Structures are given as C-alpha cells and as structure tokens.
Chains A and B, each alone.
Chain A
Amino acid sequence: EVQLVESGGDLVKPGGSLTLSCAASGFTFNNAWMNWVRQAPGKGLEWVGRIKSKSDGGTTDYVAPVKGRFTISRDDSKSTLFLQMNNLKTEDTAVYYCLPDGGNPWGQGTLVTVSS
C-alpha cells in the first residue's frame, strides 16, 4: 500500500525557516517525480513545486510565490522528500501535502502556521 507521511509543521514567525519531511513507502520512490501542494485554511489547493527523479535529472520547479524561498530535495536512500522553507510569510500558512506526480495518493498533511 502506498503511504505518504508528512511531518515537521510548526508555528514560526515571519521571516523564519522550517523544513518539512515526507516519508514514502509502498512504491519505488527513486523513480517517482514528487511534489508539494498546499492548502491555506478554508481555501483551495495550490501546487508548490516538484522534483524529478534522479534518472530524469533531479531538477526542481517552483511556483512564482515561493521561488527563491523554498527548496525541494530528496533522499532516495531513505525514500524521503523534503521542503525547506526560508523567509516565511504569513501567506505561507497552510497544510502542506506531498504526493507523487500523478496526484495519488495524498497523506494527512502537516500544518505550517506563520504568525508573530
């Protein structure tokens, strides 16, 4: 069974940093393009970024609001995806989900709250 477990969410002050993790199991992680998607409280879904598999170059892409502040990385030996978030803004407050490129399945998400 494919499982994704996100962790690392916390309350952080504006301008602060945080790193999220996503532990994957039940599929060949190193072959998968992986993504982060977020959902602000009471709002819709927004793609944050993706990382390709190493065999496809391992490159990353981000949406404009997070480019230059967020970094996605992966540790294939541990089937773990990371999202490093710097210079956090109040508008980054959201539940963050990791998921494979096809959009299935979703984990439970981890809540990041940016507030002074």
Chain B
Amino acid sequence: DVVMTQSPLSLPVSLGQPASISCRSSQSLVHRSGNTYLNWFQQRPGQSPRRLIYMVSNRDSGVPDRFSGSGSGTDFTLKISRVEAEDVGVYYCMQGTHWPKTFGQGTKVEIK
C-alpha cells in the first residue's frame, strides 16, 4: 500500500499567520492517465471531513482562496496564507491513484 506521510503532525499557528503542511507518498502519484490524484481534506472538531483540494491544486467550491495546494510526484503541500479561527481542525492528505486509497496520519492545526 502507498504510505502517506504528513508533517508536522501538530501545527500551532497565530491568527493571520501562514501555515504549511507537507505530505509525501511512498510511490509516485502520477496515474497512467497523466493525472495526479492527491486530495486534501479538512475535519473541523465534531464534524465530518470535507474535501478542500482535489488533484493537487484545485479548490473545491466554497473553499476560501487562502487555501492552496501544490506539488508533484511524491511531494505535496497544503498552504493556508493567513490562518483564521475557523481553520482549526485536522487536515488529511489522501492519494487516489493506487488501490487501496490511503490517507496521511493527519495534521492538527490549532491557534497559538
């Protein structure tokens, strides 16, 4: 199975400051179609996860533009340009290129 490794696992951030989460995969996530199926999810406390970013860098509808995704191959990043209070929660990367699909361990973002 493809192992997804996130860092850091805990990320205290001051309001208005940027935050960055790294996600590395044990194999390339480039599908034979040429697409890279790397998604990012946010799970706020007490809520179900929701997808923020799909295929590396595409924001879902309703996701603020302070969230951005980048990367290629095996190395990916989720950035929050200016952290707001509503961004507190756990963030997961997930690869959908190989079966079984796998998630990273999660990164807990909290306000410092």
**Contact residues of A with B, CB < 8 Å?**
35, 44-47, 50, 61, 63, 97, 101-109
Contact = CB atoms under 8 A, between A and B. Distances in A.
A44 B54 CA distance: 19
Interface stretch (B21-29, B45-53, B64-72, B80-88): B45-53
A103 B100 contact: no
Nearest to B49: A106
24 contacts: A44-B92, A44-B104, A44-B105, A44-B106, A45-B41, A45-B49, A45-B92, A45-B103, A46-B103, A47-B100, A47-B101, A50-B99, A61-B100, A102-B51, A103-B39, A103-B94, A103-B96, A104-B60, A105-B50, A105-B51, A106-B48, A106-B50, A107-B48, A108-B48
B46 to A, nearest CB: 11
Contacts of A63: 100
B102 interface: yes
Interface of B: 39, 41, 48-51, 54, 60, 92, 94, 96, 99-106
Given A44-B92, A45-B92, A61 B49 contact: no
A35 B96 CA distance: 12
Contacts of A107: 48
A109 B48 contact: yes
A61 B99 CA distance: 8
Contacts of A102: 39, 51, 54, 96
Nearest to B40: A103
